[in-house]
C-alpha cells in the first residue's frame, strides 16, 4: 500500500510538472511567434477555444498553432483529394476494367461508400480530435486487453498509408507530366520525351523536394494556398469541360455509350470482378478522406470542423468528379487504343483527341499539373503530422528525433524529412519495375482503408457508447454507415492486391500485395521485438477527456 501511495504521489508530481512545462512551452511559443497566449486560444468568434483544453486533457502539449478555420480545413480536405488530378492519373484502371460504365458508375458507387466512411470517422473524430487520428481513436475505443496491439496495427497502417499515398501522388505527377509533354508527338507512341526510369525518378525527386520545401518553409501560407487551389480547380474544370465538348474534333458518343458501355475483355477477368478491379481509380482518388484528421491540432474547433469537412468534401468531390469524367467519356477515343498505351496515362490522349491541337491540349492540362503540386504539398503536410503524432507516442524507431516540432517553422520538420526519405527510397523500386506506381497507389489505398476500418469496427462492436456525447453523433444512421464502411474494407483490401489484368505479366502485375506484406511483416516483427515491451500507447486520462469534451460541447452549444 505504501508503494502504491508513493507511486500515486509520484504520478501527481509528474502530472503537475507536465502542466507547468506545458504552460511554459505554450507561453514561450507564443512569444517567439509574436502571438499572445490569449489570441492563440480564441476561436473564430472571439470566444475561448476549448480545443487546447481537450488536447491537454488527453495528455498532450499544444505544440502547433491552430490557424485553420472551418472553410480552410474543408479546402485542405478538398486539396488532399484533388479529384480531377487523382482521376486523371488513374484513368487506366477503369478503362481496363470495363470502360465508360466502369468509369462513371464506379465513381458514383465508391463516392457513396466513402461518404459512409467519412461519416463514420467524423463521429469518432468529434470525440477524439488529435493529430494521432485513427490510431489514437482505436486506443481509446478498445478494451485494455487488446488496445496496445490494435492501436499499433492501426497506427502503422495509417503512417504507411499516408507516406505511400504521398509517394503515389508525386510519382503519378512525374508520369503524368511525361504524358503531357508527349502530346506534342507527331506519330502515335513515338513520343518526344522518352521517359526512361532514371528520367522519371529525377522528375519525381524534384517534385518531392518542391512539395517538402513549400510544406515546411511556407506552412503559415498553406491555408491561403488551399483556398486558391479551390478556385484554380473549378476554373480549370470549366476550361476542360467547355473546350472538349465544344470542339470534339472527332465527334461525340451518345448517352447510351457513356452510361452503359461495358467491355471487360481487356482485363481477362469475369465481368463482375473486372468492374471491381476498375474501382481502384475511385478508391485512390478518395483514399485521402481520413488524412485530414492528422491536422486536428492546427484547427480552431476540430471536434466540429474536421467531421464537417470530411463529409462535405466527399459530397463536393462526387459532383466535381462527375463534371470531369462525363465530358471526357463523351469524347473518348477507342477503348482498346487507350488501354494499349505504353505510358498507361490515357487522359492526355483523350483530351488531345477532342481538341486536335497539341498546344491546346497542353494548355488544358496545365491546371491539372498545378493541382497535382497542390495535392502533393497537402499530402506531404498530412503525412508529416501523422508520422510526428505516432512518434510522439514512441511507436517509431528514433522517436526522440521525429517527435520534435521546429518552432520557427511551426512544423514537425524532422518527421517530414523522415517521410520524404522513405518516399525517395521506395521510389527506387521503379528501376526494377515500371509497374511500381501500381504498387504505390495500391498499398496506399489498402493501408489507409485498413486504418480507417479498425476504429470503426472497434466502436461498432463495443456498442458505439463512446460516441453519444460527440458533436457529430449520427445515431442509427451512423450504425448503417459503419456497416457499409466495414463491408467496403473487407472487399477493398483483397481486391486491390489483384493484378489489373490476366494473364499476369510484368506490366500488369500488382506489387501492392508484396509491398503491403513487407510493411506488415516489419511492423509485426518490430512489435514483438520492441513494441510489446516498450510501446505504452497514447496517454490515457479518460475522466479528464470526458469532462473536457462535455465542456467543449457546452461551449459549442452556447455559440
Please give the pLDDT value at position 363. Answer: 96
Please give the pLDDT value at position 542. Answer: 54
Q: Does 341 reside within a domain? A: yes
The two counts, helices (H) then strands (E), for the chain are 25, 0
Its domain, for residue 335, covers 72-558
Q: Does 120 reside within a domain? A: yes
CATH number of the domain that residue 368 is part of: 1.20.1740.10
Helices (H), 129-260: 134-141, 147-181, 197-217, 222-247, 255-260
Nearest of 203, 176, 186, 169 to residue 79 by alpha carbon: 169
Please give the pLDDT value at position 20. Answer: 44
Q: What is the pLDDT averaged over residues 491-515?
A: 80
Q: What is the pLDDT averaged over residues 29-45?
A: 39
Residue 553 has pLDDT above 50, yes or no: no
CA 409/CA 352 separation, integer angstroms: 43
Confidence of residue 27 (pLDDT cuts 50, 70, 90): very low
Residue 82 has pLDDT above 90, yes or no: no
Q: Does 438 reside within a domain? A: yes
Number of separate domains in the chain: 1
CA atoms 130, 132, 135, 136: torsion sign: negative
Residues contacting 57, CB < 8 A, separation 6+: 541, 544, 545, 547, 548, 549
What number of residues does the chain have?
559
In which region does residue 251 sit, left (phi positive, over 0), alpha (psi from -120 to 50) or beta (all else)? left
Please give the pLDDT value at position 541. Answer: 56
Phi and psi angles of residue 299, each rounded to the nearest 5 degrees, phi first: -115, 140
Q: What is the pLDDT averaged over residues 360-365?
A: 95
Nearest of 303, 284, 321, 268 to residue 499 by alpha carbon: 268
Nearest of 545, 537, 473, 75 to residue 295 by alpha carbon: 75
Q: 95 vs 29, 211, 212, 340, 348, CA distance in Å?
A: 52, 30, 33, 10, 14
Residue 87 has pLDDT above 60, yes or no: yes
Please give the pLDDT value at position 385. Answer: 92
Residue 241 has pLDDT above 80, yes or no: yes
Q: Does 275 reside within a domain? A: yes
Instruction: Tell me the sheet residues that pair with 406.
Output: 411
Q: 406 vs 192, 386, 403, CA distance in Å?
A: 44, 16, 10
Q: What is the pLDDT averaged over residues 438-467?
A: 91
Q: What is the pLDDT averaged over residues 13-35?
A: 40
The DSSP code sequence of 82-117 is -HHHHHHHTTHHHHHHTSHHHHHHHHHHHHHHHHHH
On the 0-12 / 13-18 / 19+ scale of CB atoms within 10 A, 555 is middle
What is the per-residue pLDDT across 407-433, written as a single tens digit (0 to 9) for each? 888 899 999 999 999 999 999 988 887
Element (H, E) at 518: helix 512-526
Residue 39 has pLDDT above 50, yes or no: no
Burial code of 103-122, b = ≥16 C-beta within 10 A, e = fewer?
bbbbbeebbebbbbbbbbbb
Of the spans 66-70, 113-117, 516-520, 525-529, which averages the highest pLDDT?
A: 113-117
Please give the pLDDT value at position 508. Answer: 62
Q: Does 16 reside within a domain? A: no
Residue 98 has pLDDT above 50, yes or no: yes
Q: Does 50 reside within a domain? A: no
pTM of the model: 0.84
Q: Does 45 reside within a domain? A: no
Confidence of residue 62 (pLDDT cuts 50, 70, 90): confident
Please give the pLDDT value at position 2. Answer: 40
Q: Select the more confidently predicted residue: 37 or 515.
A: 515
Q: What is the percent of the chain where pLDDT is above 70?
A: 87
Q: Does 13 reside within a domain? A: no
User: For residue 406, what is the DSSP state?
Assistant: B
Residue 43 has pLDDT above 60, yes or no: no
Average pLDDT score, the chain: 84
Q: Select the more confidently predicted residue: 483 or 343.
A: 483
Q: Select the more confidently predicted residue: 368 or 530.
A: 368
Chain-centre distance for alpha carbon 418: 18
Lowest mean pLDDT among 76-90, 378-392, 468-482, 506-520: 506-520
CA 195/CA 217 separation, integer angstroms: 31
Element (H, E) at 63: none
Helices 70-81 and 358-392, axial angle in degrees (round to 10): 120
Amino acid at each position: 500500500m505504501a508503494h502504491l501511495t508513493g507511486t500515486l504521489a509520484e504520478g501527481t508530481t509528474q502530472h503537475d510538472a507536465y502542466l507547468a512545462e506545458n504552460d511554459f512551452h505554450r507561453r514561450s511559443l507564443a512569444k517567439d511567434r509574436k502571438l499572445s497566449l490569449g489570441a492563440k486560444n480564441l476561436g473564430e468568434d472571439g470566444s475561448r477555444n476549448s480545443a487546447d483544453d481537450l488536447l491537454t486533457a488527453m495528455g498532450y502539449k499544444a505544440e502547433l498553432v491552430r490557424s485553420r478555420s472551418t472553410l480552410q480545413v474543408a479546402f485542405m480536405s478538398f486539396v488532399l483529394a484533388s479529384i480531377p488530378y487523382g482521376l486523371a492519373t488513374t484513368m487506366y484502371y477503369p478503362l481496363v476494367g470495363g470502360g465508360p460504365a466502369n468509369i462513371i458508375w464506379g465513381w458514383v458507387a465508391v463516392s457513396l461508400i466513402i461518404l459512409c466512411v467519412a461519416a463514420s470517422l467524423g463521429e469518432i473524430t468529434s470525440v477524439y480530435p488529435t493529430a494521432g487520428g485513427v490510431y489514437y481513436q482505436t486506443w481509446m475505443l478498445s478494451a485494455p486487453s487488446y488496445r496496445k496491439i490494435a492501436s499499433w496495427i492501426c497506427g502503422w497502417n495509417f503512417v504507411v498509408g499516408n507516406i505511400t499515398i504521398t509517394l503515389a501522388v508525386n510519382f503519378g505527377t512525374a508520369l503524368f507530366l511525361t504524358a503531357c509533354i508527349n502530346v506534342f508527338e507527331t506519330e502515335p507512341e513515338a513520343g518526344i520525351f522518352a521517359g526512361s526510369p532514371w528520367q522519371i525518378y529525377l522528375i519525381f525527386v524534384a517534385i518531392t523536394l518542391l512539395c517538402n520545401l513549400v510544406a515546411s518553409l511556407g506552412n503559415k501560407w498553406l491555408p491561403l494556398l488551399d483556398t486558391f487551389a479551390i478556385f484554380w480547380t473549378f476554373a480549370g474544370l470549366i476550361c476542360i469541360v467547355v473546350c472538349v465538348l465544344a470542339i470534339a474534333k472527332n465527334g461525340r458518343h451518345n448517352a447510351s455509350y457513356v452510361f452503359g458501355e461495358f467491355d471487360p475483355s481487356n482485363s481477362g477477368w469475369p465481368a463482375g470482378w473486372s468492374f471491381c478491379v476498375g474501382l481502384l481509380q475511385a478508391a485512390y482518388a478518395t483514399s485521402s478522406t481520413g488524412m485530414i484528421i492528422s491536422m486536428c491540432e492546427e484547427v480552431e474547433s476540430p471536434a466540429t470542423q474536421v467531421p464537417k469537412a470530411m463529409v462535405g468534401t466527399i459530397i463536393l468531390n462526387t459532383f466535381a468528379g462527375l463534371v470531369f469524367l462525363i465530358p471526357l467519356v463523351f469524347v473518348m477515343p477507342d477503348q482498346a487504343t487507350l488501354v494499349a498505351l505504353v505510358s498507361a496515362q490515357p487522359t492526355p490522349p483523350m483530351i488531345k483527341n477532342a481538341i486536335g491541337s497539341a498546344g491546346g491540349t497542353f494548355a488544358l492540362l496545365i491546371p491539372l499539373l498545378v493541382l497535382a503540386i497542390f495535392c502533393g504539398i497537402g499530402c506531404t503536410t498530412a503525412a508529416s503530422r501523422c508520422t510526428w503524432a505516432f512518434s510522439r507516442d514512441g511507436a517509431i524507431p528514433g522517436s526522440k528525433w521525429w517527435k520534435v516540432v521546429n518552432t520557427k517553422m511551426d512544423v514537425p520538420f524532422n518527421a517530414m524529412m523522415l517521410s520524404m526519405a522513405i518516399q525517395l527510397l521506395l521510389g527506387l523500386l521503379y528501376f526494377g519495375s515500371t509497374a511500381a506506381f501500381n504498387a504505390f497507389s495500391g498499398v496506399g489505398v489498402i493501408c489507409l482503408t485498413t486504418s480507417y476500418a479498425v476504429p470503426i469496427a472497434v466502436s461498432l462492436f463495443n456498442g458505439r457508447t463512446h460516441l453519444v456525447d460527440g458533436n457529430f453523433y449520427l445515431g442509427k444512421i451512423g450504425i448503417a454507415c459503419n456497416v457499409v464502411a466495414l463491408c467496403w474494407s473487407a472487399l477493398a483490401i483483397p481486391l486491390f492486391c489483384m493484378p489489373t489484368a490476366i494473364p499476369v505479366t510484368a506490366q500488369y502485375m500488382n506489387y501492392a500485395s508484396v509491398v503491403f506484406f513487407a510493411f506488415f511483416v516489419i511492423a509485426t516483427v518490430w512489435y514483438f521485438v520492441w513494441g510489446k515491451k516498450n510501446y505504452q500507447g497514447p496517454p490515457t486520462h479518460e475522466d479528464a477527456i470526458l469532462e473536457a469534451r462535455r465542456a467543449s460541447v457546452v461551449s459549442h452549444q452556447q455559440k
